[in-house]
Structure 1
Amino acid sequence: MKKRYAICGVSGRGLGMFAKPILTTFSASSELVGLLDRDPARFELFRTRYPEQAGIGTYSENEFDRMVDETRPDVIIVAGRDDTHARYIMAALRRDLDVITEKPMVTTGEDARRVLEAEKNSKGKVTVTFNYRYAPIHTKIKEMVLEGRLGRITSVDLNWYLDTYHGSSYFKRWNRVRELSGGLSIHKCTHHFDLVNWWIGQKPVEVFAYGALNYYGAEGEANPRKVDGRHCSTCEDTEACSYYSRWNTRSHTMRVQDDHLGSLSEGKSRFPYSDYRPDQCIFDSQIDIEDTYAATVRYNEGALLSYSVNFSLPYEGYRLAINGTKGRLETLEYHMPSRTPFPTPVQTIDYFPLFGSKETIHVVHREGGHGGGDPLLLEDLFMGEDARRPYRLLSGAVDGAYSVSTGEAVWRSVKEHRAITIDEVLGGNRPAPALSISGEGGQGR
């Protein structure tokens, strides 16, 4: 019998990451039975792409219960704007349904706690799609830690870089409003915090951070003119805008930047949704989030994370070092070589035993999005987890909660100029859930 899925949030990710594989690769065992969204134009986009599926039921944002009653899904996929996640996760758990949700699971520590409590009282469970875990280079790092090659983990250095193409895209979209996204320390950095939590198998306890809005917003140094309400596709200041002119020529139609829409519109309307523009000006005064962070995170077993992220750099990638009582590993990755203005090497892992010779490890790379991780994640979601692995890769509600609470602690520390504990973020000074992180010794949900 096919497993039945309904999607809440007909976003680019909802269509490309979930609807498409359900209707194609995994159609023998999966069935899409319902779509829910606040914008009817999104249903039209779905029907344009999949005309043979025009009969699938569509529902407005307030018709969740009706959708469940009429379509009888087994699993709810939550893929809409970040601030909608908690609403539909909670609604699904109340109906004892399993949930697959895009990251971040929710946008606040308070909502994370609510989800954890709801899951305890439900027959359903929550899966968070942290696809970075699935990249072969990242699973190799996990294996090296589990094998004990580093010993007890003492510290981690992680510096993440987003280039002016990708980094600026968040400031063109709804992500730039903290109320909708939680800020980039939640929307984006939860990916990074989850990776570290999973790699080292420890839980974050306390965070201290600094942050700033250095590049974007009305005071951005590259702002050609202080005025609100501009859009890249109609702006009179594009030739004076370094961010626009870096990725566009005067005669070339504007490239829709990393908005998960460009590949979907296929010559129809540039912006096929009713009330969504991915080309808002990156220098608007509406922007109320940061674009630069430096943070220190303390973990329950003594490890310390030194983390930084910058959303406006000449190239994209990250530098990682993990230190332990038996050795150290280092790796450097350049994302998107086609956007990098210099030759980039193939990523390797350098391993330095505390007493011994350096070893360079070449990892087999895979095709597919997010470093080859997306296809493997989809197999686990729609075919069941690969039982041959000695550790878990799929993330659960606890993983989602710890990554979100770390991100909230970062921006609260920036705002309040003090260290923020995970307990106060997750539970208003109540102890954080005494649960294990997925993949810790192969255990956890």
Structure 2
Amino acid sequence: MTTRRKYAICGVSGRALGMFAKPILTTFAGSCEVVGLLDRDPARFELYRTRYPDHADVPVYGESEFDRMVDETRPDVIIVAGRDDTHARYVLAALRRDLDVITEKPMVTTGEDCRRVLEAERASKGNVTVTFNYRYAPVHTKIKEIIMEGKLGRITSIDLNWYLDTYHGSSYFKRWNRVRELSGGLSVHKSTHHFDLVNWWIGQKPVEVFAYGALNYYGAEAEANPNKEDGRFCSTCELTNKCSYYSRWNARSKRAPVPDDHLGSLDAGKKAFPYSDYRPDQCIFDSSIDIEDTYTAAVKYSGGALLSYSVNFSLPYEGYRLAINGTKGRLETVEYHMPARTPFPTPVQTIDYFPLFGSKETIHVVHKEGGHGGGDPLLLEDLFMGEDPVRPYRILSGAEDGAYSVATGEAVWRSVKEHRPIPIAEVLGGVSLLGAAEAAAGTAGGEKGDAR
């Protein structure tokens, strides 16, 4: 007989509702249940009840009532899905109670908190899982398999250029993500996805980072700002007809004062934004924005590989371009993430393999339905059913994976500010997770790192 696992959710965000609560209450209802909700805003509990009326009797708790929630509901797993700066608080609290943790990325927002989580996990019976769903996209797992097969040989360099369009990219500057203290900046909040993919693909660990970055498109000094004025909101702004970002994605008939539903946050029959003191339609040209929207970075890895990375949060289309080079060949792929938002025809994503001495091979990958390139449903199965025992490689991310991705992201913006290379060990508080052999290889640019 299957034992039902009990889950308590800390942070009743849109991600918590759609990515975690919904599958627990539907697809995995036979073996899982939600036993508690914790958040600082009571309005979010009402949103949960409205969304899932058959489960409206779930006990709810304030942001400081974690221990009471655990004592009263006895969860097996804590799901952490609130604002990024709250992650460390609840991950650490769960580990102190010997509970397993599932946390949305980024695991935490600073290298110091990464160190605290790693130390807490070592002292706990609980384990941390970070939901890096990009790993699960079929194209991404195929890339992992190609590397594991040895077709590229020892990995020497990676080129990864990530593009966010004016719809998606601007959304981060409407929300709390635009404040570094709350999100760690986009090199942490967003780029951890990308850094984790590279770390996982090549089986090496980041050692040192050097980067440049800037705020080019958003903030008060942006060229597209129709007027230097703080405190504006899309749903009430009188300048939407002069705002290129708003006009690009909103028909004239739907412009202010009709609320901008960019995030799908409107609730039928309810108020415009179903939160007590937060609006996700803040002006993207506000002077309070203190993060960058453009980065280029170079990362050195423990096995000698070098990453050339860039990300841009305001482009005409969304997707990425990837090349991985090795001693036996090269791999290339291009993805257009949202074809419906791309102003030109886009091809189905394939992978091109170029042996160092031989003919090009184009690999067609079986694509699957679901969010994040078909990765979300596969991740959810591993989370709520256990990892697939047939899969020949490790894919579900742990605390160490989360720490390396966050440390790389922090190193990026610190390098931008301090104009120097930033060692990953320095970001993690002087505590390196590398073994002696790996550290030596990273310094000398020598042997291949672990191929997990």
8 A Cα contact 2:234 2:260, kept in partner = no
Structure 2 residue 265 is the aligned partner of structure 1 residue 261? yes
Alpha-carbon offset, residue 49 of structure 1:
1.3
Alpha-carbon offset, residue 441 of structure 1:
3.7
* Whole-angstrom distance in 1 between the partners of 2:269 and 2:365: 39
User: SS in structure 2 opposite 1:88?
Assistant: helix
Residues 171-186 of structure 1 aligned to structure 2 (within 5 Å): 171-186=173-188
Match for residue 248 of structure 2?
246
CA RMSD of superposed structures (Å): 1.3
Of 89, 92, 99, the residue aligned with 2:91 is: 89
Match for residue 427 of structure 2?
425
Residues 100-111 of structure 1 aligned to structure 2 (within 5 Å): 100-111=102-113
Structure 2 residue 198 is the aligned partner of structure 1 residue 193? no
User: SS in structure 1 opposite 2:28?
Assistant: coil
Going from structure 1 to structure 2, the CA distance change for 1:266 and 1:377 (only over 3 Å counts) comes to farther
8 A Cα contact 1:391 1:440, kept in partner = no
Going from structure 1 to structure 2, the CA distance change for 1:63 and 1:433 (only over 3 Å counts) comes to farther
* Whole-angstrom distance in 2 between the partners of 1:41 and 1:321: 46
User: What letter is aligned with 1:38?
Assistant: R
Residues 392-411 of structure 1 aligned to structure 2 (within 5 Å): 392-411=394-413
Match for residue 144 of structure 1?
146
User: SS in structure 2 opposite 1:91?
Assistant: helix
Residues 328-339 of structure 1 aligned to structure 2 (within 5 Å): 328-339=330-341
* Whole-angstrom distance in 1 between the partners of 2:317 and 2:101: 36
Report Cα offsets for 1:351-376 as digits up to 9, x if no partner.
Answer: 00000000000000000000000000
* Whole-angstrom distance in 2 between the partners of 1:14 and 1:344: 32
* Whole-angstrom distance in 2 between the partners of 1:10 and 1:416: 36
Alpha-carbon offset, residue 54 of structure 1:
1.7
8 A Cα contact 1:159 1:309, kept in partner = yes
* Whole-angstrom distance in 1 between the partners of 2:25 and 2:108: 27
Match for residue 8 of structure 1?
10
User: SS in structure 1 opposite 2:313?
Assistant: strand
User: SS in structure 2 opposite 1:251?
Assistant: helix
User: SS in structure 2 opposite 1:112?
Assistant: helix
Going from structure 1 to structure 2, the CA distance change for 1:36 and 1:260 (only over 3 Å counts) comes to farther
User: What letter is aligned with 1:109?
Assistant: G
8 A Cα contact 2:259 2:272, kept in partner = no
* Whole-angstrom distance in 2 between the partners of 1:184 and 1:205: 20
Structure 2 residue 309 is the aligned partner of structure 1 residue 307? yes
Residues 273-352 of structure 1 aligned to structure 2 (within 5 Å): 273-352=275-354
Of 165, 168, 171, the residue aligned with 1:169 is: 171
Alpha-carbon offset, residue 254 of structure 1:
4.7
* Whole-angstrom distance in 2 between the partners of 1:337 and 1:366: 16
Match for residue 417 of structure 2?
415
Alpha-carbon offset, residue 267 of structure 1:
4.4
Report Cα offsets for 1:178-221 as digits up to 9, x if no partner.
Answer: 00000000000000000000000000000000000000000000
Of 48, 51, 75, the residue aligned with 1:49 is: 51
User: What letter is aligned with 2:139?
Assistant: I
8 A Cα contact 1:248 1:254, kept in partner = no
8 A Cα contact 1:422 1:432, kept in partner = no
TM-score, scaled relative to structure 2: 0.95
Report Cα offsets for 1:417-443 as digits up to 9, x if no partner.
Answer: 00000000002x34345499xx9544x
Task: Show structure 1 runs of 5+ residues with no match.
Answer: none
* Whole-angstrom distance in 2 between the partners of 1:434 and 1:169: 40
User: What letter is aligned with 1:261?
Assistant: S
* Whole-angstrom distance in 2 between the partners of 1:372 and 1:430: 36
Report Cα offsets for 1:243-286 as digits up to 9, x if no partner.
Answer: 000001221245422x3635xx2342221111121110000000
Structure 2 residue 118 is the aligned partner of structure 1 residue 129? no
User: SS in structure 2 opposite 1:110?
Assistant: helix
8 A Cα contact 1:256 1:278, kept in partner = no
8 A Cα contact 2:11 2:39, kept in partner = yes
* Whole-angstrom distance in 1 between the partners of 2:432 and 2:42: 43
* Whole-angstrom distance in 1 between the partners of 2:425 and 2:315: 34
Alpha-carbon offset, residue 118 of structure 1:
0.3
Match for residue 29 of structure 1?
31
8 A Cα contact 2:202 2:451, kept in partner = no
TM-score, scaled relative to structure 1: 0.96
Going from structure 1 to structure 2, the CA distance change for 1:187 and 1:415 (only over 3 Å counts) comes to same
